Chain A
Amino acid sequence: MRFFSAVLRIVTLLVLLWFLIYGVKLGDFEETRYNGSILCLSCIGIE
């Protein structure tokens, strides 16, 4: 059980790492940068 739990966590970690890397490859990084580079009027509370 302990071994299975450890393996499950390592596999989950690897999947999440793949999410991160593949997300960057798909352009998530540029999209996040673009969104962050616009003045967030919603955050300031003005319309």
Chain B
Amino acid sequence: MVSNSYIGSVFYNNIYQGWFKGICVPVMNCYGCPLAVMSCPIGTLQHFVIIKAFPLMLIGFLGIIGLVVGRMTCGWLCPFGFFQEMLYKIKTKKFYPGKVFSYSKYVILVGLTLLVAFWVGEPWFCKLCPVGSLEASIPLVLWNPSGDIFSQGGGIVARVGALFYTKLFILFALVTFAVFVHQPFCRYVCPLGAIWSVFNRFSLFRIKVYTDVCAFFDDCHQRCPMDIHVHQTPNDGDCTRCLECTKWICKSVKFKLAWAEDDTSSRRGRTDSHIEHVKEGRK
């Protein structure tokens, strides 16, 4: 809401061009949206690749967030993640595709976002991005504003072509998919998530599992929204740090500051009565 709050766009038929556009939001948020106040990190990354400059500021910005909290902004701030979350609440049969498919986001990051932009000189991820379809394409085509910035080349609607319909088709496919699979864009497509998923394994704030309690159960992945085996790989690259696992009755999972990478440990002081209490609660 904050990053897309430029109401002046509606009154003056323009887009925000002020100081805040120099800052990227730490989530996927299209700056083609007429209400956008801040820039998209992936759009900016592609721009720097196209002009063949090293994005020092962006790497520093994304790296600091990743090193401190990993993918936490995906789980707590991303509007497109929230949109998919709402779609998944529709009651239907759910599917859990294998872990192997989640590597596709790295292919999209390196291939489509970096290499294609470098070779072709055009931001091809932005051209196909479903976030842009939802936040920029559909609103602008429905609105069809008349300001100078929009009306070049005959206006927005007059310039709609095959690329626009391709974007719409990708969005439609993803929306359909999101009803049956939890957050498919975040898991299989998002290049920003791919960058931060690498940091999940090293971040300062991380998931820690106390094995003396959780060792009794092996169905954690069925309770985790991202289908992660929390007691085996608590800081998996797919984890968006929604912290749902920290609310489980066994209380064996904590999100805490940790200077070393020991993700699991036993905690002294757990009594048999506590374990029995946990077992009872799970029945």
Contact = CB atoms under 8 A, between A and B. Distances in A.
A37 B44 CA distance: 12
B60 A16 contact: yes
Contacts, number: 148
Interface string B255-283: 00001110000000000000000000000
Contacts of A45: 127, 132-133, 137, 160, 163-164, 166-168
A41 B127 CA distance: 8
Interface residues of B, number: 59
B43 interface: yes
Contacts of A6: 259-260
A12 B67 contact: yes
A6 B64 CA distance: 15
Interface stretch (B47-55, B74-82, B100-108): B47-55
Contact of A9 (B39, B48, B53, B204): B204
A2 B260 contact: yes
B73 to A, nearest CB: 16
A32 to B, nearest CB: 5
B149 to A, nearest CB: 5
Interface string B19-43: 1011110000011100010111001
B99 to A, nearest CB: 27
A39 B149 CA distance: 7
Interface of B: 15-17, 19, 21-24, 30-32, 36, 38-40, 43-44, 47-48, 51, 53, 55-61, 63-64, 67-68, 122-123, 126-127, 129, 132-133, 136-137, 140-141, 149-150, 156, 159-161, 163-164, 166-168, 202, 204, 259-261
Interface of A: 1-2, 5-6, 9, 12-13, 16-24, 26, 28-33, 35-37, 39-47
Given A36-B44, A45-B166, A46-B163, 5 more contacts: A19-B57, A20-B61, A36-B40, A40-B31, A43-B137
7 contacts: A13-B67, A16-B63, A16-B64, A20-B64, A32-B47, A35-B43, A44-B137
